[in-house]
Amino acid sequence: MQKLEEKVAKKAKRNFSMTPKKAATMISAYSIGLFFIYPYINMILTSLKPHGELYSTPTKRLPVDWQFNNYLDVWSKAPIADFLKASIVVSIFATLLVLLVSVPAAYYIARNRFKGRAAFLLLVLATQMFSPTALIIGIFREVKFFGLLDTWLALIIVNAGFNLAFAVWLLSGFFASVPVEIEEAAMVDGCTKFSALRRIVLPVTLPGLVTAVIFTFVATWNEFTVALTIMSSPQRQPISTGITTFVGQYDVAWEYLFTTTAIAIVPVVILFISIEKYLVGGLTAGSVK
Partner 1 sequence: MTALDVGAKGAKVAGVAKKRRPKNSILNALPWIGPALALIIAVVVWPAIELIKISLTKITSAGALEGFNGLENYRMLFENPDLGAIVMRTLVWVGSVVSITVILSMPLAQLINQNFPGRKFVRWAMIVPWAASVVMTSIVWKWMLELTSGEFNLTLRQLGLQDQPVDWLRDPRYSFFVLIWVAVFVSIPFTTFVLLAGLQSIPNDIIEAAQVDGATSWQIYRGIKFPLLRNALLIATIINLINVFNSFPIIWALTRGGPGYNTDTTITFAYKMAFVEYNMGPSTALGVINFAFIMLIVLIYLRVTKATRGQL
> Which residues, numbered 195-214, are part of the site for partner 1 (CB under 8 A)?
none
Instruction: Output the smallest distance, CB 107 to partner 1, in A.
Output: 7
**Would you count residue 177 as binding partner 1 (CB under 8 A)?**
no
Cβ closest to partner 1, residue 190 vs residue 248: 248
Q: Whose Cβ is closer to partner 1: residue 13's or residue 181's?
A: 13
**In the window 5-44, what residues touch partner 1 (CB under 8 A)?**
9, 12-13, 16, 22, 25-26, 28-30, 32-34, 36-40, 42-43
105 binds partner 1 (CB under 8 A): yes
Cα–Cα distances (Å) from 34 to 28, 30, 143, in that order, read: 10, 6, 42
Closest distance between partner 1 and the C-beta of residue 56, in Å? 8
- Cα Rg of the chain, angstroms: 24
Stretch that binds partner 1, among 62-70, 73-81, 175-183, 216-224 (CB under 8 A): 216-224
Interface residue with partner 1, options 166, 196, 258, 259 (CB under 8 A)? 258
Which of these ranges, 73-81, 184-192, 199-207, 266-274, lies near partner 1 under the rule CB under 8 A? 266-274
